[in-house]
Every structure is written in C-alpha cells, then in structure tokens.
Amino acid sequence: MTHGVALLADVTGRDLIVALARPGDAPGEHRVLPGSTSLELEAGLKSVLAELDADVLVGAAVAAAGPEIDGAVTLTSTGLTVSLTWLRHVLRTPRVYLVNDFTACAMGAPKVAEAALGVIHPGKAARNAAIAVLGPDIGLGVAGLAPLRGDGWLAVPSEGGHMDFCPVEAREAPIFSAVRARHGEVSAERLLSKEGLSDIHCALVGDGDPLVAPENDNVIIELARAGDAQAREAISIFSGLLGGFAGDMTLVFAARGGVFLNSPLLEAIGGLLDREAFVRRYRTKGRMSPYLAEVPVFSMPGRPALLGLSSLFSPSDMRYAASDVKFLDC
C-alpha cells in the first residue's frame, strides 16, 4: 500500500508552523497556529492529524528553536521542552525526526530557488564549499552546511548566537555598555534579535539609562519608516553588527559557498537595512578582509526550515503508514 504525506512543523516558541509534504516533494502551503505552550502545540498537531484520512501519514519532522540534546529540545526563549517521546505519543508514530530549527533551515538553503534570493553582499559562491545560515529574530539562529563527497550535504548544528560579542566601531561602544547594564552580559543574540533592536534603540533614546523601557521592534521599524532619526540609527547600528557577525560566521564555517540570512525580522526591516554599514563591518576582518570580499551574502525569504525538514523523507517512505507497528529511523 502507498501512503501519502509527512507532517512538517517548526516550533518557534510563539507559533507552530505546520505544512504537509508528499515524501520526496517540497512542502505545500504552511499554516501558523498558536504554539507557546505544550497544550497549544498538542492541539495544533492533533488538529492537522484530524484532517487526514487513516494511514495517510508516513511520519513527521519537527524543528524547534533550541539545541537538540538526547532527543529533546528546550526552547531557548521560553524554556518549553519538546521531546521525541512526547511527539511520538501525540502523533502516534515512532517515525519522528527532531532537529534544531536552524539546522533545518540550513538543510533547506540549497533547495531555495536562486531567483528568490536577494543579494546583500555581492561575490562568487565557491562550488562544493560550505555555507553558513543565520537568522536574527526572537533569538539568533546559526548553522552550517558542509558538502559531502559525491553529492549531498552534512548539516552542522551551532549555538553560535550565544557567543560573546564586542564593539568594533566607536558608535557601538555605548550600546554595548547600555546592554551590559541592562542584562549583565552581552552575547551576539542580545543585540541581534527583536529584543536586541529594542535595546539598541533604547540605548540611543535613553542615553544608556537601564530604567528606560524599550520600544517594541515593530514600533521602531515604523518610526524609522516615518523618518525618525534615532530609529534609523538603531537599525543602522543593528545592520553593522549583523554584518560583523555574518563575517565572523563566514570565517568559522569557512563558508566560501555563501552566507544565507533567513529572518522575519529582516523581512520586516526590508529596505531600511543599512547595507553600507553591513558590508563595511562584514569585510572588516584585518588580514582576512580579502577572504570576506569574495564571499556573497544572500537574503533568503520564506520558510526554508520546512524545505529542510522535507528532505528527511524520500519516496520510499511511502511504503509504511505512521500507524504501522514498525520502529523506523528511531
């Protein structure tokens, strides 16, 4: 008997993003459901299952925003834990994959059509070379992809968003001091995230006072669109810091195949991104500056994590339904 679809899900900490895909094919249209608690996640997953005929499901692949350790992911932003055991119980199948969200995003990057990519920093991607995938949003996702001999890719998980961060340009120094006063530490994610953009703006308007309440990132973007000078400066500083971090990750992963940025926050910022500041900081790497000058940086729209999850299934998986009593890929 031939069965039909795999369930693909991205758990962000706020939402549950779900799509279905025939094994071997790209996912169909995704839907966004509430997903901030285990009860919401369970309800969302079961609502999708309820729409499927019996024995149509072949398995599931789930990405979640945190490190995968021993079959479980604890979401960095909320502390909610998603485990293979729990997912198998909810989905009633042993065939479940669980990966870090940016590991899935990296797996999906080679599948995104070249025409869909935007160019932030021009260059020539080297063939058969590693790539890096980054995304500032609720947190700061990082992953790499290394080419395998012959064909295919090896995903390289990373928690690089939590590495220590330091200022390079004079205008960045007071921002770091203000963020350190507010949070006690300064990681890359502290600045390169929705909260980070708010803190950068707050440091500018509040002159570093940790008691000044930050504005929402959406408010800052709207202020910048309206011409507010401090909001525009906040986005410019954010752009430069992102460029510097992208350059660092290019060096870490030897990402001569290019750097891919995927982020709803960057999509919201859109044309307000200060590309000059991004490129300046991206290339400022001392003796390695010529190395960076040749590596392109792309903006990658949409949900490549779902594309990456779909690659975990092949047409041969349609031989077994999720309800079959057969432990596969576990």
Q: What is the pLDDT of residues 146-182, one digit of tens each?
A: 999 877 899 999 999 999 999 999 999 999 999 999 9
Cβ contacts of residue 82 below 8 Å, gap of 6+?
Answer: 11, 38, 41, 62, 64, 72, 73, 75, 98
pLDDT at residue 319 greater than cutoff 70: no
84-91 helix and 38-50 helix, angle to the nearest 10 degrees = 40
Mean pLDDT of all residues belonging to the chain: 92
Instruction: Name 285's bridge partners.
Output: none
Bigger pLDDT: 276 vs 214? 276
| CB distance 23 to 317 below 8 Å | yes
Beta strands at 153-157 and 5-11: parallel, antiparallel or unpaired: unpaired
Task: Give the Å distances, CA to CA, from 271 to 118, 136, 165, 317.
Answer: 11, 16, 26, 43
Q: Give me the mean pLDDT over the 6-14 stretch.
A: 94
Q: What's the whole-number mean pLDDT along residues 274-278? A: 98
- Domains identified in the chain and CATH numbers: 5-106+305-319 (3.30.420.40), 113-300 (3.40.367.20)
pLDDT > 60? residue 330: no
At 1 the pLDDT is 40
Answer with the residue of higher pLDDT: 109 or 319.
109
What's the CA gap between 77 and 72, in Å, rounded? 15
